[in-house]
């Protein structure tokens, strides 16, 4: 299964059906490295056959744009609405990935989203996990979807 393509397909599906927005998509990047330019990150833990986490990393301007599009009004600060909206985006993308992995014979359980707001933070996950990051651009501003995982069925 092409994980980068699955992330792109899942994210495009969520944004086109829920927000009626077409995104510009970057090439998937595998491996570590690169700062995460985010003011808000929403993460969902993954369990069972695929263990790890899916994260949506957004600069404030993108998070407010996504939320405003979601709720149909202008958003001016990183408030509860923004945290809920980015958490819901993470949840929907993870749900679409769950279906994609399921079609590949792999069962995934999803945790409840956790959202962090701040200027400088790091995330860590399972040692030795695969990492795939895709950059998306909405209205000229870029955000990232990151998947860190270990495939329990293949031993790594």
Average pLDDT over residues 61-72: 95
Query: Class of 3-151 per CATH?
Result: alpha beta
Tell me the pLDDT of the chain averaged across its residues. 91
Q: What percent of the chain has pLDDT over 70?
A: 92
What is the pLDDT confidence band of residue 121, given thresholds at 50, 70 and 90?
Answer: low
The whole-model pTM stands at: 0.92
Q: Write out the DSSP string of the chain.
A: --HHHHHHHHHHHHHHHHS--PPEEPPPEESS------SEEEEEEEEETEEEEEEEEE-HHHHHHHHHHHHTS---S--HHHHHHHHHHHHHHHHHHHHHHHHTT--EEE---EEEE-SS-----STT-EEEEEEEEETTEEEEEEEEEEETTTT-
Average pLDDT over residues 58-64: 96
90-110 confidence digits (pLDDT tens): 999 999 999 999 999 999 999
At residue 31, the pLDDT reads: 86
At residue 118, the pLDDT reads: 85
At residue 152, the pLDDT reads: 80
At residue 154, the pLDDT reads: 57
At residue 155, the pLDDT reads: 44
127-151 confidence digits (pLDDT tens): 788 999 999 999 999 999 999 999 8
């Amino acid at each position: 299964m092409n994980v980068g393509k699955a992330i792109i397909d899942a994210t495009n599906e969520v944004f086109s059906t829920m927000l009626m927005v077409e995104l510009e998509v970057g090439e998937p990047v595998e491996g570590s490295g690169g700062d995460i330019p985010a003011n808000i990150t929403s993460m969902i833990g993954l369990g069972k056959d695929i263990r790890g986490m899916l994260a949506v990393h957004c600069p404030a301007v993108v998070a407010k744009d996504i939320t405003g599009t979601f709720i149909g009004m202008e958003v001016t600060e990183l408030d509860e609405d923004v945290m809920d909206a980015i958490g819901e985006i993470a949840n929907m993308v993870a749900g679409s990935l769950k279906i994609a992995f399921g079609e590949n014979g792999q069962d995934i359980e999803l945790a409840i989203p956790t959202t962090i707001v701040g200027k400088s933070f790091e995330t860590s996950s399972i040692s030795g996990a695969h990492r795939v990051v895709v950059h998306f651009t909405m209205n000229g501003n870029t955000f990232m979807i990151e998947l860190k995982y270990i495939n329990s069925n293949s031993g790594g």
